[in-house]
Amino acid sequence: MPYSIVEKQRENILLPSSMGFSHQGQKKKKEAVELKKTQIKTEVNDARVCVSIWKPTPKSPLISKYGVERYNLHPNHVFPESVRSMIPSNTPEYLDRGEKYVERITRALYYFKQCALIGPSGTGKTHVVYIVAEITGLPLWEINCGLQTSAYDLFGRYIGLGKENWIDGQIIAWCRIGGILYLDEANMMKQDIASRLNPILDTRGHIVLTEKDNEIIHRHPYGYVIIAMNPFTSEFVGTKPLNAAFRRRMSVWINFDYLSVGEQVSPDEVQLVQKRSGIDKKIAENIVRIGAELRRQYKSGDLPYGPSPGDLINWATLISDGISPKVAAEETIVGMTSDDAEIQDIVRRIVEANFSK
């Protein structure tokens, strides 16, 4: 059944503007609502209320596939139409070899409201987060925590002269509306930003908005947090050990790894490369075997990057178009691994050893 929501409740929901969430636009919306209510009062002598009818988001058929039926992350709650487009859709399925990442993440959010994902680039962390958001029907607020991300982007600021028009940053908008706050590359986050998030992530459940006269913003009851990061190594420039206080607030830690590494070649990954590119099985096996070796050397510190399944599919796609494996490798995984000529030669030798014929 659709849900009826009294207009008075709807007044408190901020509507997005082209640059964030505007309180001035909210004020105009409120005035329009109040005018409408006044007209109704005059006509029916206060006997009726104005209601809005919102249809609930239909449940994803993937809920039963991933075994998360019992973890309802927003029971009887309908998110505003303004953020419905932020709920992912048509996300490709994830190759699960028994890790049950979707179920584990959903369970962690259900019981603890937040969790951390850790693993090398290309292991599917972001992909799985999109699946979780889609099947649970939650808006996804995605933030890359690179060093260029400013406090204004995250928390908000005034625009124009004076203090008449405040724009919410993404974190504040998430606090008000709810959904999944996805902090990617979390161990590249500036320490002052990480420390400001601590009160949101513990039992206090709020943030003090110092930029806006110390307004206290409470975390939405259906506001969840997922952080993702690469292991702390010298190869990932800008990474650093996660702030200890911030780390303690992550209740569950889930490790990700590649499908194929070293001598272990996953038939599922071979099938994926073959299906997505159209090449034959033998070439797909060679590609995955090369990818597995590159990943092994990356994990041992000999290479700066290990190819993701998507990288291998890109290589295979060029081969399917008639380009030779070695030339296609030059245009994909060789250049992608590094700009260093010596490292590129290492990749070339691995490719040639598997495609010598």
Say yes or no: 44 and 126 in one domain: no
Domain-embedded: residue 261 = no
Is residue 23 domain-shared with residue 49, that is, in the same domain?
yes
Lowest-pLDDT range, 21-35, 77-91, 99-113, 324-338? 21-35
Same domain, 237 and 346: no
Q: Which residue has the higher pLDDT, 74 or 161?
A: 74
Of the residues 33, 55, 77, the one at which a domain ends: 55
Tokens describing residue 288? 């995955």
Q: How many domains does the chain have?
A: 3
pLDDT at 319 over 70: yes
pLDDT interval class at 121 (50, 70, 90): confident
Task: Give 78's pLDDT tier (boundaries 50, 70, 90).
Answer: very high
83 lies in the same domain as 217: yes
Shared domain check, 64 and 44 = no
Residues 235 and 248 in one domain: yes
Residue 262 lies in a domain: no
Average pLDDT over residues 301-318: 92
- CA distances 237 to 71, 82, 141, 171, Å, are 37, 37, 24, 25
pLDDT for 14 equals: 35
What CATH number has the domain bearing residue 127?
A: 3.40.50.300
Name the residue range of residue 42's domain.
1-55
Residue that finishes a domain, picked among 11, 28, 55: 55
Phi then psi for residue 181, to 5 deg, are -90, 110
In a domain, 83, yes or no: yes
What is the distance between the alpha carbons of residues 91 and 97, in angstroms, rounded to a whole number?
18
Tens digits of residue pLDDT in 157-201: 888 777 778 889 999 999 999 999 999 988 888 888 888 899 999
- pTM of the predicted model, to two decimals? 0.76
Residue range 146-167, pLDDT digits in tens: 766 777 788 988 887 777 788 8
Residues 297 and 350 grouped into a single domain: yes
Q: Are 119 and 158 in the same domain?
A: yes
63 and 211 housed in the same domain: yes
The set of residues, in sequence order, having a beta carbon less than 8 Å from that of 207 and lying 6+ positions away, is 155, 171, 172, 175, 196, 197, 199, 200, 216, 217, 219
Whether residue 260 lies inside any domain: the answer is no
- 9 shares its domain with 25: yes
pLDDT category, 233, cuts 50, 70, 90?
low
Residue 308 in domain: yes
Q: What is the mean pLDDT of the segment spanning 248-269?
A: 92
- Output the six-digit token pair for 83: 């953020």
Identify whether residues 97 and 232 lie together within a single domain.
yes
| Beta-bridge mates of residue 182 | 142, 226
Looking at the structure, tell me whether residues 116 and 195 fall in a common domain. Answer: yes
- By DSSP bridging, strand 51-54 and strand 215-218 are unpaired
